[in-house]
């Protein structure tokens, strides 16, 4: 829901960018698997990468609502570009913004918001997916900082990032209370990465494993109070989930728009397929779920902006919108018949790209568990 002139302006500007510059290249980018850094830089020049940061650190002085309006529109065009942009705006830079020194802001944050440096955010390890208590990447205190040893997997921007915000264990005996985020530039000796993963969807995102072998970092690269890593994560978890919901809404809109167009064009049995009630039911379900999801995202983005507790509502919004977008992209494939199976049409890309939203920010089984817990205590 658009409620202010600023929201309307962002939506209009992003829609024009997506229609003119992203959609015409989406297929080529998906098929090449090459991340479109030129478009990423243009987004930076438009002020999108700094949309939720104040002007003093090189941001655009916007907020979460504007951020989610922009991400929704971008996801309508190309999910891998939207996902990497969303990561740069939030997870990859938030710890640096909140806890980094002035020098770190100058060296990394300001260039990141200009699209000149790329950030990444690392929680996941081979034995620690949903179960972050099992994080084994170790940060040992030294006289002048920390030494990091371990590895992360499913690292978006792993092979291309300039700096990483990494969840590490400082004291295995303390379990969750030993977790802490650290800032690790990729120029740190001992940092390396695997080759790029070959994935089903968001194919131009660059994902890999990353490795830390005796990476020495200074004291100030500890992002926050030692032992409060989960609290640091909790400060942005609702925003991560509502941003993911916004991405899902964008993809849902794209799947629905392509379906409506095809329903009107494709003639079988002497009439457009959209004249059949079973096809109309699919369009109706897409429309109802989109409207419901938009209401949820509209409510929660404003709660996040106003710093109101809303983790449960954000979980519900992420769960509902991503499941709805999965359903919409599946129905879009069916509406397109055999042509949905062809790379000529975008619906196959929506179907593949949407799957990644099921994992980041909490898998849906974990979200269902945490939502239910609110009602069963
Ligand atoms: C495209 C992509 C990009 C990613 N980018 C990043 C990134 O940049 N940084 C990063 O840190 N991670 C990233 N990830 C990883 C993502 O965050 C993890 O996939 C996610 O945390 C889940 O972990 P897992 O895949 O190991 O699944 P697991 O935790 O092993 O779960 C496997 C299955 O078991 C279920 N399950 C697990 N625990 C429970 C439970 N308690 N109750 C019920 N069911 C349960 C899950 O729901 C799932 O169905 C990315 C993943 C993808 C696909």
Cα(255)–Cα(252) distance, rounded to whole angstroms? 5
Distance 285 CA to ligand 1 centre (A): 28
Is residue 251 domain-shared with residue 351, that is, in the same domain? yes
Based on the structure, what is the number of domains in the chain?
3
Lowest mean pLDDT among 14-18, 223-227, 252-256, 272-276: 223-227
Tell me the CATH number at 60: 1.10.540.10
Cα(102)–Cα(286) distance, rounded to whole angstroms? 47
Angle between helices 229-265 and 347-354 (to 10 degrees): 160
Cα(320)–Cα(352) distance, rounded to whole angstroms? 18
Which of 72, 96, 113 is the C-terminal boundary of a domain? 113
What ligand 1 atom has the least distance to the C-alpha of 365?
A: 47
Tell me the CATH number at 312: 1.20.140.10
Q: What is the DSSP string of 152-163?
A: EEEEETTTT-SE
Is residue 67 domain-shared with residue 168, that is, in the same domain? no
Is residue 252 domain-shared with residue 146, that is, in the same domain? no
Distance 361 CA to ligand 1 centre (A): 9
Is residue 94 domain-shared with residue 63, that is, in the same domain? yes
Distance 377 CA to ligand 1 centre (A): 25
Two tokens at 25? 């290249």
- Please state whether beta strands 191-193 and 179-185 pair in parallel, antiparallel, or not at all (unpaired): unpaired
CB-CB contact of 8 with 2 (8 Å): yes
Tens-place pLDDT, residues 159-179: 999 999 999 999 999 999 999
Lowest mean pLDDT among 55-69, 96-110, 214-228: 214-228
Is residue 100 domain-shared with residue 136, that is, in the same domain? no
Percent of the chain topping pLDDT 90: 97
Two tokens at 85? 């942009």
Tens-place pLDDT, residues 97-108: 999 999 999 999
C-alpha count within 13 angstroms, C-beta hemisphere, residue 316: 19
Which of 88, 113, 138 is the C-terminal boundary of a domain? 113
The answer to whether residue 259 scores a pLDDT higher than 90 is yes
Going by CA atoms, what residue is nearest to atom 23 of ligand 1? 129
Distance 131 CA to ligand 1 centre (A): 9
Going by CA atoms, what residue is nearest to atom 19 of ligand 1? 359
pLDDT of residue 315: 98
Going by CA atoms, what residue is nearest to atom 12 of ligand 1? 124
Residues with CB under 6 A from ligand 1: 121-124, 129-130, 154-156, 202, 207, 356, 359-360, 363, 365-366, 369
CB-CB contact of 167 with 123 (8 Å): yes
Distance 124 CA to ligand 1 centre (A): 8
Two tokens at 337? 């018949």
Distance 255 CA to ligand 1 centre (A): 25
- Report the SS3 class of residue 120: strand
Which of 98, 113, 128 is the C-terminal boundary of a domain? 113
CB-CB contact of 129 with 282 (8 Å): no
In sequence order, what are the beta bridge partners of 119?
163
- Please state whether beta strands 119-122 and 163-169 pair in parallel, antiparallel, or not at all (unpaired): parallel
Residue span of the structural domain in which 273 resides: 230-376
Going by CA atoms, what residue is nearest to atom 30 of ligand 1? 129
Tens-place pLDDT, residues 127-136: 999 999 999 9
Going by CA atoms, what residue is nearest to atom 13 of ligand 1? 154
pLDDT of residue 377: 85
Is residue 147 domain-shared with residue 211, that is, in the same domain? yes
Question: Other CB atoms closer than 10 Å to residue 296's CB: what's the count?
Answer: 20
CB-CB contact of 326 with 264 (8 Å): no
Cα(115)–Cα(44) distance, rounded to whole angstroms? 5
Those residues with Cβ within 8 angstroms of residue 69's Cβ, 6 or more apart along the chain or in another chain:
2, 7, 10, 11, 14, 246
Q: Indicate the DSSP class of residue 194.
A: -
Is residue 47 domain-shared with residue 81, that is, in the same domain? yes
Tell me the CATH number at 223: 2.40.110.10
Closest CA to 56 of 7, 105, 96: 105
Distance 259 CA to ligand 1 centre (A): 30
pLDDT of residue 53: 98
Is residue 82 domain-shared with residue 140, that is, in the same domain? no
Closest CA to 227 of 164, 284, 182: 182
Is residue 102 domain-shared with residue 129, that is, in the same domain? no
Is residue 298 domain-shared with residue 364, that is, in the same domain? yes
Q: Is 348 exposed, middle or buried (0-12, 13-18, 19+ CB in 10 A)?
A: buried
Cα(270)–Cα(197) distance, rounded to whole angstroms? 46
Distance 128 CA to ligand 1 centre (A): 8
Instruction: Count the residues in the chain.
Output: 377
Is residue 185 domain-shared with residue 322, that is, in the same domain? no
What ligand 1 atom has the least distance to the C-alpha of 122?
A: 11
Is residue 209 domain-shared with residue 260, that is, in the same domain? no
The answer to whether residue 344 scores a pLDDT higher than 90 is yes
Tens-place pLDDT, residues 140-155: 999 999 999 999 999 9
Q: Which of 75, 88, 90, 124 for a ligand 1 pocket mutation test, highest count of atoms within 8 Å of Cβ?
A: 124
């Amino acid at each position: 829901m658009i409620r202010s002139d600023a929201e309307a302006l962002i939506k209009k500007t992003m829609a024009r960018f997506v229609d003119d510059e992203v959609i015409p290249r989406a297929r080529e980018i998906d098929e090449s698997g090459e991340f479109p850094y030129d478009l990423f830089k243009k987004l930076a020049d438009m002020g999108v990468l700094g949309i939720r940061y104040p002007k003093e650190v090189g941001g655009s002085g916007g907020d979460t609502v504007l951020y989610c309006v922009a991400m929704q529109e971008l996801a309508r065009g190309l999910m891998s570009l939207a996902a990497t942009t969303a990561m740069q705006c939030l997870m990859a830079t938030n710890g640096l913004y909140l806890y980094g020194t002035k020098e770190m802001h100058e060296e990394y944050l300001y260039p990141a918001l200009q699209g000149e440096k790329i950030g990444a955010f690392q929680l996941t390890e081979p034995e620690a997916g949903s179960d972050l208590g099992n994080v084994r990447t170790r940060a040992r205190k030294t006289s002048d900082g920390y030494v990091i040893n371990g590895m992360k997997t499913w690292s978006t921007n792993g092979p291309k990032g300039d700096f990483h915000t990494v969840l590490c264990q400082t004291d295995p005996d303390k379990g969750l209370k030993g977790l802490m985020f650290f800032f690790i530039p990729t120029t740190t000796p001992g940092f390396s990465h695997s080759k790029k993963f070959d994935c089903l969807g968001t194919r131009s995102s660059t994902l890999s494993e990353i490795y830390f072998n005796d990476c020495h970092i200074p004291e100030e690269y500890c992002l926050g109070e030692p032992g409060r890593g989960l609290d640091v994560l909790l400060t942005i978890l609702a925003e991560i989930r509502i941003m993911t919901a916004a991405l899902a809404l964008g993809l849902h809109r794209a799947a629905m728009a392509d379906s409506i167009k095809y329903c009107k064009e494709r003639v079988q049995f002497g009439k457009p397929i959209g004249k059949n009630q079973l096809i109309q039911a699919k369009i109706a379900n897409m429309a109802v779920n989109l409207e419901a999801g938009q209401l949820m995202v509209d409510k929660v983005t404003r709660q996040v902006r106003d710093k109101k507790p809303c983790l449960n509502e954000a979980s519900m919004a992420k769960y509902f919108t991503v499941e709805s977008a999965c359903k919409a992209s599946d129905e879009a494939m069916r509406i397109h018949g055999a042509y949905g199976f062809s790379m000529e049409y975008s619906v196959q890309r929506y179907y593949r790209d949407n799957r990644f939203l099921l994992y980041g920010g909490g898998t849906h089984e974990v979200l269902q568990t945490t939502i239910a817990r609110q009602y069963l205590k």
